[in-house]
Amino acid sequence: MKILQVTDPHLYGRADGNLRGVQTDASFRGVLDAAFGRFPDYAALLVTGDLVQEDAGGYLRFRSICQNLPKPVLCIPGNHDIPAAMVRELDGSPFQYCGGRTVGSWRIVMLNSYDPGQVGGRLTKKELERLDEELSRPQPNALVCLHHHPIATGSRWLDEIGLANADEFWRVIDAHPKVRAVVWGHVHQAFDGRRGAIRLYATPSTGAQFLPASDGFALDRRPPAYRHFNLHADGRLESQVHWLEAMPLQQTLAR
């Protein structure tokens, strides 16, 4: 089964909304067109946060783009989202806000790491308990998704705004050997690593990217991207980032 992940579209209520030199609406649409064209047999679209850039009108735009998709659209909030508006505007099929979703022998667990008033993230006690409950379900394989990165990225400024209680998160994860991978957004760059037997993946934004291994805020020149996962019934998985090299970006260095 194929899962498509997009992240950090940062949409506005206006189609010409621009963030860091990128018109986020056009860029998001371009990424989706490329993803669906290459993987028309996908089982679900996973959107790992920052759907909007602090503009509730962006959810109406997101809904208009995705509401007729034939497969589930699985959404979690990021630090630039407005969770109450997100829940209100993305109510009903094909959208799902957080929770869990069974896809074959896999359970996709979607966590809310939004921490009000903070750029970094935190999982509440209730959310950690829900994670433990989700991972106790009978499906033999689990893919855990959140917005904020639970490991160091090698970029000092980003690692100051990751998941604040990552140790608590990993205590729950380590108690469940069925977890095959942890997936996040937020960092606007690609990452592919391991923590023991668990695969770790960060996915670039559908808009502008951050420069890897930078001490301070810096933009990369790489284009928009998405990631796909091949999930196998026996717990194996493959994943790859796909860059839209044909979409030039006129990025600025404004934060």
Looking at residue 137, its amino acid is R
Report if residue 27 sits inside a domain: yes
pTM: 0.95
Identify the pLDDT of residue 246.
58
Kindly list the distances between the CA atom of residue 194 and the CA atoms of 47, 113, 207, in Å, as whole numbers in the listed order.
Answer: 22, 21, 26
Report if residue 255 sits inside a domain: no
Report if residue 248 sits inside a domain: no
Confidence band, pLDDT 50/70/90 cuts, at residue 172: very high
Residue 11's DSSP bridge partners are 52
**CA 216 – CA 194 distance, rounded (Å):** 25
Q: Total structural domains in the chain?
A: 1
Q: Give pLDDT tens digits for 57-90.
A: 999 999 999 999 999 999 999 999 999 999 999 9
Q: Tell me, what DSSP letter sits at residue 80?
A: T
**CA 25 – CA 41 distance, rounded (Å):** 24
Identify the pLDDT of residue 253.
36
Domain that holds residue 202: 2-243
Report if residue 117 sits inside a domain: yes
The torsion angles phi and psi of 30, rounded to 5 degrees, stand at -65, -40
Identify the pLDDT of residue 255.
33
Report if residue 9 sits inside a domain: yes
- The residue whose two tokens read 């409950």 is 133
Report if residue 92 sits inside a domain: yes
Q: Of the candidates 65, 1, 43, 101, which has an alpha carbon nearest to the alpha carbon of residue 206?
A: 65
Asked whether the predicted pLDDT for residue 252 surpasses 50, the reply is: no
Report if residue 252 sits inside a domain: no
Report if residue 66 sits inside a domain: yes
The answer to whether 147 and 114 are in contact (CB under 8 A) is yes
Q: Of the candidates 10, 5, 30, which has an alpha carbon nearest to the alpha carbon of residue 20?
A: 10
Q: Read off the CATH number of the domain in which 45 is found.
A: 3.60.21.10
The torsion angles phi and psi of 131, rounded to 5 degrees, stand at -60, -45
Q: Give pLDDT tens digits for 220-243.
A: 999 999 999 999 999 999 999 999
